[in-house]
Structure 1
Amino acid sequence: MILALSSGWGLAAAAGAVASYSVLALSASRLSPRTLRGVLFAAWLLHGLVLTTGLIAEPLRFGFAPALSMTVWLVLSIYAVESQLLPQLGTHWALASLGALAVALTVVFPGSFYHRIASPWLPLHWALGIASYGLFAVAVVHGWLTTRTERAMRLATSCDTGVPLLTLERLTFRFVQAGFVLLTATLLVGWLFAEQLYGLGQVWSWSHKTIFSVLAWLTFAGLLVGRARLGWRGQKAVRLLYLGSGLLLLGYVGSRFVLEVILHRL
């Protein structure tokens, strides 16, 4: 669906995005705030151009690397907005490293061809799934920041996140809630409209992708219920967040990685 970098524009945009992300990852602490924002915006824009190039390609491609690339781009989009509200957030180097890796992986593993889309609703189904990936990935970033801040408080040391612990925790669960809504919608659409999405004779099946996705949904549901009813917070909540996100990552990205890279089935 997303990437086919056969065009010169696509490859040039990918090279520019990787270069910009790399500069940011290696030199974020030495750049002025204005320069840092400029480099981040340039990298984000070039990354978006790479994705747009793939969207208009014929035939369409989709796979584990394009899914990761779109997820990271969504994370950076949310971070760019959030950093305007909370300029003290200090995760530029980590997100830039992820961005460079995601774009580079897409060039090497562009995914498999989709010569025919069974339903015009299938791209919407994919979009819902990737959007949920993105929101849970943002939640993971905030969970990681929460862990760092909590550890710094226990050790009475300074932490460069600069955001209060309760604020980070509240933001983490807001992203979990939003991701859970989109993941629920994705699973419901796949269950109720499998035949319309994938063609006649296609029904809901308990594939590896489905099993891991349902397990992730149950984990996130348990996390939200535990938060609301039992007051779960801190490391217990973050560990469940990591577990659910890991299961979700295995659901599509992990399955496609095995097929494309290990088994060479496109």
Structure 2
Amino acid sequence: MSVVPGFTSAGGPWLATASLVAVLSYAAAVLRPRPGWGGPALLTAWLAQAVALLVHALGLGLSDPGMRFGFAPALSLTVWLVIAVYAVESRVLPLPTLRRGLAGLGVLSVLLAWGVPGDLRPGLSSPWAPLHWLTGLVAYSLFAIAVLHGMLTRRAERALRRHAGPASVGGLPLLRLEKLTFHFVAAGFALLTLTLVFGLVFTAWRWDHKTIFSMLAWAVFAGLLIGRHTLGWRGRIALRWLHGGALLLLLAYAGSRFVSEVLLHRAAGA
């Protein structure tokens, strides 16, 4: 009998085991039932999520093994990469306020990928397709990190205006945090540009809603970086552009895949 009905059957026992360990460990990182559990729990969850992603991608433990991909595993991999970047960054610039939020996102992303597995991909349109996907996912992750840093900056600025807090986050000065945010935006923009180039040159390029939203996101991020360097954009106006570009990028892949893999699939099976 399935311990979690509807989930273990979706990806086989190996995926169920790894996902369950990841969910429980992320939950422990959020709740922290004992002092000092946060870091080890987050690391355990991150490793278990990596196993779950690998098992899912290869279709291990299923009757029809093979490469799989979909919007939910893509979001899970994005969150996994965001936590990896956070772990590296925290070695130099500790930001403990992010840990519980990221662990919460980890719980949601693992459950989503566990319950809504991707489709079997028997063949690739191009041998460059995996590189196209990888650069895109890393770009999404960098923009997500930038959004999180921007939210911390905005919250600290509001506290400073109310004289309710220092001009720093976790000991990191606001100006330095703001610069770090734009470093992530610039790195994400470079990888997004590569992703679009790979898509244009090496894969089957189609002018669909995914391409249009991706191009719009690229234009928004380009405008943000130009505005930052020429007009000195910061604060609220910069965050609006950042959030707008991130939303367009989310709609470009996750939104379109959610419609095609979940809504249309259910409508077809009804």
Tell me the TM-score normalized by structure 1.
0.90
- TM-score of the superposition, structure 2-length normalised? 0.88
1:258 is matched by which residue type in structure 2?
V
Q: Is 1:137 equivalent to 2:138 in the alignment?
A: no
Partner of 1:199: none
The Cα shift of 1:54 comes to 2.4
Tell me the SS of whatever aligns to 2:265.
coil
Q: Distance in 2 between the 1:64 and 1:6 partners?
A: 15
Contact residue 5 and residue 53 of structure 1 kept, 8 A: no
Q: Does the 8 Å contact 1:139/1:173 carry over to 2?
A: yes
Once the two structures are TM-superposed, the CA of residue 52 in structure 1 deviates from its matched residue by: 1.8
For the residues of structure 2 that align with 1:141 and 1:6, how far apart are their CA atoms?
A: 31
Q: Which residue of 2 aligns with 1:178?
A: 187
Query: Following superposition of structure 1 onto structure 2, how do residues 34-73 of structure 1 map, counting pairs within 5 Å?
Result: 34-57=36-59, 58-73=65-80
**Greater length-normalized contact order (CA 8 Å, ≥ 6 residues apart):** 1
Q: Distance in 1 between matches of 2:208 and 2:41?
A: 42
Which of 71, 86, 92 is matched with 1:85 structurally? 92
Specify every segment of 5 or more residues in structure 1 that has no aligned partner in the other structure, as ranges.
195-201
Aligned-pair CA distance for 1:35: 2.5
Letter in structure 2 aligned against 1:161: V
The Cα of 1:39 is off from its aligned counterpart by 0.8
Q: Which residue of 1 aligns with 2:3?
A: none
Q: State how far apart, in whole Å, the 2-side matches of 1:53 and 1:206 are.
A: 33
Q: How many residues in Structure 1 have an aligned counterpart in Structure 2?
A: 252
The CA deviation at 1:235 is 1.1
Gaps of at least 5 residues in structure 2 are 1-8, 60-64
Once the two structures are overlaid, the 10-residue window that deviates more, 8-17 or 56-65, is: 56-65
- Give the counterpart letter for 1:242 in structure 2: H
CA deviation string 1:107-150 (max 9, x = no partner): 11111111112322211111111010111011111011111111
Distance 2:124 2:206 in 1: 19
Q: CA RMSD in A?
A: 1.8
Deviations 1:77-101 (A, max 9, x none): 0001111112243111111110000
* Aligned match for 2:121, one of 114, 121, 134: 114
* Residue 164 (str. 1) matches residue 173 (str. 2): yes
User: Residue 89 of structure 1 contacts residue 161 of structure 1 at CA under 8 Å; is this kept in 2?
Assistant: no
- 1:189 is paired with a residue of what secondary structure? helix
Please give the alpha-carbon distance, in whole angstroms, between the structure 2 residues aligned to 1:59 and 1:233: 46
Match of 1:148 in 2: 155
CA contact (8 A) 2:56 2:117 kept: no
Check the 8 A contact 1:128/1:182 in 2, yes or no: yes
Tell whether the 8 Å contact from 1:5 to 1:54 is kept in structure 2 after alignment.
no
Counterpart residue identity of residue 231, structure 2: L
| Partners of 1:247 and 1:114 in 2: CA distance | 26
Deviation string 1:185-229 (CA, Å, 9 cap, x unpaired) is 0001111223xxxxxxx4x32200000000000000000000000
Amino acid at match of 2:199: G
CA contact (8 A) 1:10 1:53 kept: yes
- The residue aligned with 2:245 is 244
Instruction: Judge which range, 175-184 or 116-125, deviates more.
Output: 116-125
* 1:6 is the counterpart of 2:11: yes
CA distance in 2, matches of 1:73, 1:13: 14
Q: Which residue of 2 aligns with 1:211?
A: 212
Task: Determine if contact 1:66/1:110 at 8 Å carries over to the other structure.
Answer: yes
Partner of 2:222: 221
Structure 1 outlier segments of 4+, above 4 Å: none
